[in-house]
Structure 1
């Protein structure tokens, strides 16, 4: 018999749902899971039938981050720099995806898993959610965008607090800080995320991609650059509608 997959995949009305599947380990991410997860993400990004991607976890947690049993291990003899660069490349697939990526958060959302969640376009949490960067306990820092993404969303002082204390915050605190966008009861979590995803999946994918790109440009560039991005995107969308006779 084949082993249970470490990442579950399904497509629901244009929405690809990718689920971490090590519930007994709070979905701690080992190298095998990471490989399956990246392959599943690549399939969802390449599938034209998929308009929106949802990330979630089986069991009680989204993910407790890197499996501490493999902390510091490097597959295939990779150097530290190569290992981190590969992890950052995986993160950039979400950040640069033209398709919206949503996260359903519950239980532990720690370390690299929190960095993945912060790379998503929207985050919905339930009251069991605990967010933290425990890396400092191991003499380390975040390495796939945790500090810069938290700084963008919540400000530098809050990024420093999380990165320099390893303390966790709950869903309500994360909502107040802007690290999650909605908090719903546990029984409503998956349905609320799917509701948002299905709504987005019903819209024009080029318009969705433009909206995501403009919002990101507004954070990383000055207002003039963001306005220029809106102008270029909107002009292109109008032209596409005319070509389609709309």
Structure 2
């Protein structure tokens, strides 16, 4: 875990070409989808894993899902087993998953997986390597690495109501995940200004997973299913980039709507 790459959450670093890339025209269209967050008029109590899950779905999941309701449509799912679940520990069921649609008979294309924990499980100083990692942090790292491998997904997050932890494995095959030192970001809830926000970070992670799926499809089949001109443009970029997800050099877009 000491070799994992800790990255800055500054927006210009988060969206650099080495990480998730700048937003472009297709992102502007997605992020312009209307969304009205609930204004409850008082602070909510978030003290358990169940509270964290509810808070995530209301304030983070819903606006990001709205952005991916079309162009293209992505499926946001909860508690989905892996295809080989019969051969692994039954507890290895991830809390959250984002999938790209695939033709009948084709294995599901998983863009992102996520896990929810009670507040305080993500210790920022330890993930930032400013303090020696505790057994709790080592346990979480092993758990997320196991999820990444069993679900064959290179984009993983964990949310505890206080922080969004992102792991990004920059490798190709499923078995490569075991030996890959991922890049890590710890995004505090409520950050803004010069730092990436939790919603925007999750949106970028989903986009990264989607582009990886496109690149893999282009490599394996020479084509990518598209639903309109904007998606087709993304597919062409994915073909050029292959599996180098997140390295698409789009024009710097402006963030409107949900984020």
Instruction: Give the alignment's TM-score, normalised by structure 2.
Output: 0.30
Structure exhibiting the larger radius of gyration computed from Cα positions: 1
Report which structure shows greater RCO (CA 8 Å, sep ≥6).
Answer: 2
* Higher normalized helix content (fraction of residues): 1
